[in-house]
Structure 1
Amino acid sequence: MKTAATDIEAMLGNEAKSLLGHVCKAIPKESLHLPGPDFVDRVVAMSDRKPSVLRSLQTLFNHGRLAGTGYLSILPVDQGVEHSGGASFAPNPMYFDPENIVKLAIEGGCNAVASTLGVLGAVARKYAHKIPFILKINHNEFLSYPNSYDQILFASVKQAFEMGACAVGATIYFGSEESKRQIQEITKAFEYAHELGMVTILWAYLRNPAFKQQDKDYHLAADLTGQANHLSVTLQADIVKQKMAETNGGYNVLKFGKTHAKVYSELTSDHPIDMVRYQVANCYMGRAGLINSGGESKGEGDLAQAVRTAVINKRAGGMGLISGRKAFQKPFKEGIALLNAIQDVYLSKDVTVA
């Protein structure tokens, strides 16, 4: 499937003019460290990262349909742990076999595949040299009863290195009671990963019952997710995975923490690109790449929704998309088509940074 610029505009529907014509004025694109073919040389090489980390990051950038662009399209499939194997793979049972997960990432033209120790370990000798691996080292499991929300280590950084992974991924539930322990665990893990020459990717998710109010879900607030991003880069995450901001004003509504009135009056607006631009700004103005998650599969509208998310991320200054369920919960060819449609947004010269 080829998604030309006209197709992108059609998929955006009534939002096309607003999303493709918007200009970010409060945080202009000139102030950002934008993705590009020279991103490692221009941005990362001046940091304290070892040459082996630079090599691993460049490996991610050099693979798949987006190779050489500085953008990333990643297939993440760790849902079998958190959402149960049945909830994740019953819609498409072929993905109970880890090899088909990796095949989807390869055939779908992805830069990398992110998954569990079990999934990647099962096929490492066959595929670790064919597509970059990202080993997710912690998870939240839901078999314990009653359910609780805590990211615990399932794998080690050394195991990631030994199987040939280019990067490790981890989740921190910022805002949760367990976050302080998770921060300490993951900062040590990321230090070791960098020591061994691997890239670090943080799933910077918010988790607190108080963040979900009757009117809005402030787990998706630009100000709160932005701060989660800022903490992630403080931990030396090279890439930050974040849910796309859909609202704002979490600090003010929840009446906690510290913020500034200019965050809402000058630095953000209610436009989705402005809200994601604030997420990028909190990634040290793009020195760490922001990749937004694709979200759950909702059926027929998934393709248009995935394209919309990619357009917002790219125009905000983000580095790409990490989309799983929208792809692997569909027939194989449809999953490939969806991944390719996402990638076509980043390949399109008509979709520019706002």
Structure 2
Amino acid sequence: MTATVSAPNNIESYLGNEAEDLLTYKAKVPKERLHLPGSDLVERIWAHSDRSPQVLRSLQQLYSHGRLANSGYLSILPVDQGIEHSAGASFAPNPLYFDPENIIKLAIAGECNAVATTLGVLGSISRKYAYKIPFIVKLNHNELLSVPNSYDQIMFGQVEQGWNLGAVAVGATIYFGSSESPRQIQEVSQAFARAHELGMATILWCYLRNSAFKQDKDYHVAADLTGQANHLGVTLEADIIKQKLPECNKGYGAVSDALGKKYGRTHDLVYSELTSEHPIDLTRYQVLNCYAGRAGLINSGGSSGKNDFAEAVRTAVINKRAGGTGLISGRKTFQRPFEEGVKLFHTIQDVYLSPDVTIA
């Protein structure tokens, strides 16, 4: 049976002055236009696609595990920061996680749907844990040891290696907008096609990366640009899209102004009819670009800080009310004492289990 929680008093306290607005806001794009999360998600959406029975089984494993089992929502622990940000930068705050087994133990104690981490981490403990929690192998990474530092997602593993160690899904990142993105798109397309052939699900981190996206605001998290990145991701047949929570909008116009020439293509109706400045509308536009929610949108809320619990709850409320399918939480959970990391996962999950936090 799916766990439930009672009245959202604790949720409201974390939201503070934003509580009434975030919990009662009516979105501009009606929820009836979306395919919403639910216990029947795989049967209702993916059973009619070209995904094989093996892929359907893998997707169902992801949605049927942990505290959010059979709710249509996902709570995932991702830990590839040892490569992306260096092991020292990532694990020095809590050296417990230099040992990869503790990463898996945190995901299990936090009652996550799955754990997403590197080939090396999962390969080192696969026989002990592959049947206890769904594994997601992150195939490519950005490494920061080259001189000078550069930003490029490079394949560190092969799809077959993920299948051999018992993973139910593979994950990858594309830096859309970067000069390397054409190569990354081709590599990920081939990897995802092979993963589907082997019966694994696919998750794509649809990130933006280009100095032109940083102007008066950081448009790497603009709703219109990240929404298009999501749309490119589902075109590659990603079953689940990972995206940063949007913080602004009108990225196309800002980049065009900075370049002094037209950049990309958009439409005035995106800003007048489909979005507003409200975070739920901005996130709903991300969902809309995930084939109207057919591919689930999981968000994240930034790096670790003093107000992790409040920020995580806020992100979860926005994602859920926008029609998203869950949250992915890394540094906020593993860069703190083990018990606090578990508590943070449960606090996030409370949002998705609360009947009082409804879809806008």
Bin for the TM-score computed over the shorter chain: over 0.9
Is residue 344 of structure 1 aligned with residue 344 of structure 2?
no
Deviation (angstroms), 1:224: 0.1
Alignment of 1:258-277 (within 5 A): 258-277=265-284
**Alignment: residue pair count:** 350
CA distance in 1, matches of 2:271, 2:114: 36
What letter matches 1:94 in structure 2?
Answer: L
Question: 2:292 maps to which residue?
Answer: 285
The DSSP-based 3-state class of the residue aligned with 1:231 is helix
1:342–1:209: structure 2 CA closer, same or farther, 3 Å change rule? same
Question: 2:259 maps to which residue?
Answer: none
Q: Structure 1: 5+ residue runs without aligned partners? A: none
Question: 1:165 maps to which residue?
Answer: 167
Equivalent residues of 2:7, 2:356 under 8 A apart: no
- Match among 293, 302, 326 for residue 320 of structure 1: 326
1:111–1:90: structure 2 CA closer, same or farther, 3 Å change rule? same
The DSSP-based 3-state class of the residue aligned with 1:84 is helix
Is residue 311 of structure 1 aligned with residue 317 of structure 2?
yes
Question: 1:226 maps to which residue?
Answer: 227
Question: 1:98 maps to which residue?
Answer: 100
Question: 2:260 maps to which residue?
Answer: none
The DSSP-based 3-state class of the residue aligned with 1:171 is strand
1:218–1:322: structure 2 CA closer, same or farther, 3 Å change rule? same
Equivalent residues of 1:85, 1:96 under 8 A apart: yes
CA distance in 2, matches of 1:156, 1:321: 26
Alignment of 1:91-130 (within 5 A): 91-130=93-132
CA distance in 2, matches of 1:349, 1:120: 35
Deviation (angstroms), 1:3: 8.1
Question: 1:41 maps to which residue?
Answer: 43
Equivalent residues of 1:4, 1:344 under 8 A apart: no
Alignment of 1:100-249 (within 5 A): 100-213=102-215, 215-249=216-250
| Sequence identity percentage | 71
Moved over 3 A (4+): none
CA deviation map 1:290-326 (0-9, x unaligned): 0002321012x10010000000000000000001000
CA distance in 2, matches of 1:37, 1:338: 24
> CA-atom RMSD, angstroms?
0.8
The DSSP-based 3-state class of the residue aligned with 1:70 is coil
Deviation (angstroms), 1:121: 0.6
Equivalent residues of 2:139, 2:155 under 8 A apart: yes
Q: Structure 2: 5+ residue runs without aligned partners? A: 257-262
The DSSP-based 3-state class of the residue aligned with 1:83 is helix
What letter matches 2:40 in structure 1?
Answer: D
Deviation (angstroms), 1:202: 0.1
Equivalent residues of 1:294, 1:324 under 8 A apart: no
CA distance in 2, matches of 1:253, 1:295: 22
CA distance in 2, matches of 1:345, 1:86: 32
CA deviation map 1:258-279 (0-9, x unaligned): 0000001111000000000000
The DSSP-based 3-state class of the residue aligned with 1:49 is coil
Deviation (angstroms), 1:174: 0.1
The DSSP-based 3-state class of the residue aligned with 2:203 is strand
CA distance in 2, matches of 1:294, 1:222: 14
CA deviation map 1:139-192 (0-9, x unaligned): 000000100110000000000000000000000000000000000000000000
Equivalent residues of 1:295, 1:323 under 8 A apart: no
What letter matches 1:68 in structure 2?
Answer: N
CA distance in 1, matches of 2:98, 2:55: 32
The DSSP-based 3-state class of the residue aligned with 1:101 is helix
The worse-fitting range, judged by mean Cα deviation, of 289-298 and 177-186 is 289-298
CA distance in 1, matches of 2:304, 2:313: 13
Question: 1:252 maps to which residue?
Answer: 253
What letter matches 2:10 in structure 1?
Answer: D
What letter matches 2:254 in structure 1?
Answer: V
What letter matches 1:347 in structure 2?
Answer: L
Alignment of 1:8-47 (within 5 A): 8-25=11-28, 27-47=29-49
CA distance in 1, matches of 2:276, 2:53: 39
